[in-house]
Amino acid sequence: MRNLNDFYSFTNEAQKALANFFVSIKNEGQNYPAEDIEELMESLTEHIEILICEKLRYSGNQRVDAQMILEILYSLGEPAEIVSELGAEKSERREKVNIKYKYIPVQKMLCRSSRDRWIFGVCGGFGEYFGVSSLLLRFLFVFSGVGILFYLLLSFLIPDETRMESGEKSHGADLIISAVRVGFLFFMSLIYIPVIAAFSITALMAFAGLIGLDPFLNIPFTGYLIGMVLEFTIFVLSFSVLVLLLNFIMQAHFNRGFLKIGSRNVYAFSVVASLAVIALVFGNFNKYNKYIGESSEHFNFKTPQHSVTMVFDEKQSYSPLFEKNIEITGSDETGSIEVSVVKSSYGPDEETAREYCNDIEVKADMDSEGKLLFSVSAKDISRHYYNFPKLKFIIKIPSNMEFKVETNNFENKRHFRWISWHGENAVSIYKIKGTAEIEVENMNLNASDIDSQKLSLNGANGNIYARQIKTGDLKIQLTNGNIKAEKLEFHKGSMQSATGNIKVESIKADFLKCESKVGNISLYKISINNESEVVSKVGNIKIEYAALEEKSSHDVSSEVGNISLRLSYAHPPRVVAKSNVGNIFNEFEDVKFNENSAAINVKSKVGNIKINKDELD
Amino acid sequence: MNDNENLVKNKIKELKKGVLELAVLKIISDRERYGYDIIEVLKSVSLATSEGTIYPLLTRLKNEGLILYKWEESDKGPPRKYYTISAKGSELMAELLNEWKKIDTGLIKILGGR
């Protein structure tokens, strides 16, 4: 029998399909005279060859592909039917050998298609290899962005079909083929391994959450991974729906879609599409948004037309893994005022974190004098036992604008941090309860009516004015500016100024430390229970002691400046004054004191020392 | 495809099958023809069933000594098997044609006029 392979160039699949057909004929014809079967096959070969010649001439192709062969075989009919037409009596009943002649490709080769080719035939090759629509692959390659790069890479890696099947499979060709296979496996693993890993992690975490463990473990990476996987899944699902829709439209209007109806593609896509529909209908993807990186909220308000209250409500998604910024910006009619607040927080879990944000209310309002009043209040912050939200406020205030901040109900042991800069005028804080830490740059800071456990005021290039402060721990620090304070009451406190003056009226404290490098220090009406230390390098020191507890000790020292003290005569302290260069004037020199008297140690290197009795006391 | 459609299809096939042998004999009695040629003719009068089933029919007719064949080179494509009718075949064909005319007139009476 004539072997058509010797005369025509067949693709692997075509060759396989034809061979399978003749095998089926032989199988069916087992009980017929061998010469009849031989003759039949001869005739069929002739028939097929005629059609091949015709089809090749008609299509202009050089090669016989599977499509062509299958068309021909389809027109011939089932092998069983053909053979049974021989009509010779079967010698005996036999078990029917059930072999379908539908071709079973055994060794498929991934190569760039020579038939289904737009550019390099990569998509066509993949389509033939995996039995998917090449048009669909083209869409995927084009729309996935990086796909175009992959396409070029693959066009280099994957050999051309015509060259591969030209017959001469040299050693070099084998090498290329195996290289391509390795490359392809590597490429697939690049895509699949992370995706599978991510899916597994997600599943594990979902399971952990189901049995009540903390599924997030506070690892940002896993959260990010979940986000990525979900995004990817949503993309694939929605893309599948789109493709099916498009296919449906094309099928309906042009009677031609990219998916062959009845093929595996359609079933696969139907499954995917129904999953997508189910997912889109029943799945609440919004709740996963929080895993996707950092998120932020933006509010905008205008004054003075409106007074605006911004409340961070429950519905806002909140990330337990990532910092969440809530930005509030506002401006007045002229656009000269600009306020922005960044509220950020971390939480141990989603619910707590959301509660944090929930309990804090931020308000911007105009007061009767036309000043912008900005208030932050906590509704019920006391129920959070740890990890109070870290609040960061950035306020941009133009010059000639006065700004007030009011905070309410920040209970004990809570942390309130305020950072503000870029303004030339004052920031005022009122009514802070609990711990407050305030930082100011390039502007004045006014603090009053504060009743807190811990208060920290930090300033650079501006004055600090503090009034009516009652706190456990006080820290006032200034690099470039004056400190002025009134009515301070604290357990332990320190006031430091690098270049400015420090002036305080009325201090009631257990421990006090006051330090100035260049400026003067003036302290009036101070009552100290345990210890105090006042140090100045260049500036003068002036202190009026109101009351010193028995057995308390006090140091006053200066390098260059003069020291002037006024002491109460009623409770005379033990005073020791020393000056290396300057003069000493001490009214207490002759005053008798007892064992329990407070001790004052006064030292000066260069300056004079003057200690006066307070006659009024 | 449901059973009813299958049934109809099978019946049509059976109907054609009866006259197929006569048709083939007649086609090759006019002039010698190769297999594909015969199929083309049958197709043109919509007598063809599955194309593949014509070849076993030809083999059967040849085995019964009704037709003969010879190989002939073709200027375009492969060598072809040309079939001709044998003397025995011609006789049979004449008989069958005679019979067919009777069937034809009979059928017309049953089925109604042309």
Highest mean pLDDT among A156-170, A537-551, B63-77: A537-551
Using pLDDT thresholds of 50, 70 and 90, give the confidence band for residue A304: very low
A77/B78 Cβ within 8 A: no
From residue A219, how far is each of A197, A225, A286, A356, A387 by CA, in Å?
A: 16, 10, 20, 20, 17
Assign domain B3-111 to its CATH architecture.
Orthogonal Bundle (1.10)
Structure tokens at A438: 């305030």
Predicted confidence at residue A144, as pLDDT, reads: 62
Predicted confidence at residue A426, as pLDDT, reads: 52
pLDDT in tens, A62-73: 788 888 888 888
**Can you say whether the dihedral through the CA atoms of A537, A543, A547, A550 is positive or negative?**
positive
Characterize B64-98 residue by residue with b for buried, 16 or more Cβ atoms within 10 angstroms of its Cβ, and e for exposed.
eebbbbeeeeeeebbebbbbebbeebeebbeebee
- Tell whether the model's pLDDT for residue A539 goes beyond 70: yes
- Strands, sheet with B33-34, edge to edge from the N-terminal-most edge strand: B33-34, B80-85, B67-72
Higher pLDDT, A293 or A467: A467
Q: Is B36 on the interface with A (CB under 8 A)?
A: yes
Decide if A108 contacts A58 (C-beta within 8 A): no
CA A364, CA A376: separation in Å to the nearest integer?
9
- Tell whether the model's pLDDT for residue A132 goes beyond 70: yes
- Tell whether the model's pLDDT for residue A42 goes beyond 50: yes
Percentage of residues in chain A with pLDDT exceeding 70?
A: 48
- Tell whether the model's pLDDT for residue A616 goes beyond 80: no
Q: For chain B, which residues make up each domain, given as ranges?
A: 3-111
Q: Is B58 on the interface with A (CB under 8 A)?
A: yes
pLDDT in tens, A431-479: 665 566 676 666 677 787 777 777 888 877 778 888 889 988 999 998 8
Highest mean pLDDT among A134-143, A163-172, A310-319: A134-143
Predicted confidence at residue A520, as pLDDT, reads: 92
Predicted confidence at residue A383, as pLDDT, reads: 42
Low-confidence winner among A249-253, A275-279, A490-494 (lowest mean pLDDT):
A275-279
Q: Which of A42, A53, A82 sits opposite B56 (nearest CB)?
A: A82
Instruction: Calculate how close chain B gets to A45, using CA atoms only, in Å.
Output: 10
Higher pLDDT, B46 or A156: B46
Dihedral Cα B39, B43, B47, B52, nearest 10 deg: 40
B53/A81 Cβ within 8 A: yes
- Tell whether the model's pLDDT for residue A585 goes beyond 50: yes
Predicted confidence at residue A490, as pLDDT, reads: 94
CA A555, CA A564: separation in Å to the nearest integer?
13
Higher pLDDT, B103 or A152: B103
Average pLDDT, stretch A360-387?
49
- Tell whether the model's pLDDT for residue A170 goes beyond 60: no
B36 contacts on A by Cβ (under 8 Å): 46-47, 50-51
β-strand pairing of A9-10 with A541-548? unpaired
Predicted confidence at residue A416, as pLDDT, reads: 38
Predicted confidence at residue A185, as pLDDT, reads: 55
CA A432, CA A447: separation in Å to the nearest integer?
9
Using pLDDT thresholds of 50, 70 and 90, give the confidence band for residue A607: confident
Q: What is the mean pLDDT of chain A?
A: 67
> ipTM, 2 decimals?
0.84
Q: Which segments of chain B have a pLDDT < 70? A: 1-2, 76-77, 113-114
Average pLDDT, stretch A402-428?
41
B53 contacts on A by Cβ (under 8 Å): 77, 81-82, 85
Predicted confidence at residue A418, as pLDDT, reads: 38
B35/A43 Cβ within 8 A: yes
CA A612, CA A564: separation in Å to the nearest integer?
8
Average pLDDT, stretch A313-334?
41
B28 contacts on A by Cβ (under 8 Å): none
pLDDT in tens, A89-99: 444 444 444 44
Give the Cβ contact number of residue A302 at 10 Å. Answer: 14
- Tell whether the model's pLDDT for residue A310 goes beyond 50: no
Predicted confidence at residue A80, as pLDDT, reads: 83
Predicted confidence at residue A421, as pLDDT, reads: 32
